[in-house]
Amino acid sequence: MLELAGIGFHYPRRDWVFRGVSCVLAAGTATAVLGPNGSGKTTLVRCAAGLLTPVEGAVHGAGPVGFVPQARGGTFAYPALDMVLMGRARQVGLFRSPSAADRAAALQAMERVGVAGLQARPFPTLSGGEQQLVLIARAIAADAPVLVLDEPATGLDLKNQARVLALLAELASDGLTLLLSTHHPDHALFLADTVLLMGPDGVQAGPAQQLLTAPALSALYGVRVSTVASGAGPGRSIITHYDRPG
């Protein structure tokens, strides 16, 4: 479980990025944060992960948090397996080496994400999408009850986007609490129980099926969006209209 209790954040001598964000993220659920570039999505998820301290309000959790940043390459040429092993730091402790059990947990996480074949490859030599999958495996290896992801589909092709979405849905079904930022409303519609829409007038929180509507998304992004029914049941797909001028 993770609770955002009226949190707000601003950088020194700058305006508020957001204020008054409240949301309870229950175990076994996924919450997606959406909004245009510069709206504060990354700042919000970093506050939730404990990497930034809110200026007001508080974040309450029931245990450690696994964090997946956006892949941005790497300076040190660690093998991919060692990158995933870093997720076991809490279990290993200071001044100790990873055990056989830690290595097994790291390899299991890589297999679950589908990157076990990359374990010997230096992390900087991987593609952006491969790096993103390795970072997700690192967070899974941490064995934390809460997983916070900053745009987990960054750099992934359609097949790997589908793989990651299916994996995240499986993790939520296993009882993990998920919080992710995304630029893909359709990903949020597929995965999320709750969404936080970060717009110029503040942050709106509520059920994904109720808030992810064509009018709300069109207003949020300033582009024409529509939704269509997809298959049987309540499923919907989101369509962005790339209108040509004139």
**Same-domain status, 155 and 109:** no
pLDDT digits (tens, 9 = 90+) for 82-139: 999 998 877 665 546 778 888 999 999 999 999 999 999 999 999 888 898 999 999 9
Shared domain for 123 and 160, answered yes or no, is: no
In a domain, 2, yes or no: yes
Do 150 and 199 fall within a single domain? yes
Phi and psi based region of residue 163 (left: phi greater than 0; alpha: psi -120 to 50; beta: remaining): alpha
Residues 154 and 136 in one domain: no
Quick one: 29 and 89 in the same domain? no
pLDDT tens readout for residues 133-188: 999 999 999 989 999 999 999 888 898 899 899 999 999 999 999 999 999 999 99
Q: How far apart (Å, rounded) are the C-alpha atoms in residues 139 and 89?
A: 11
What pLDDT score does 93 carry? 59
pLDDT tens digit sequence for 150-163: 999 988 889 889 98
Residues 118 and 130 in one domain: yes
Q: Which domain holds residue 33?
A: 1-63+145-212
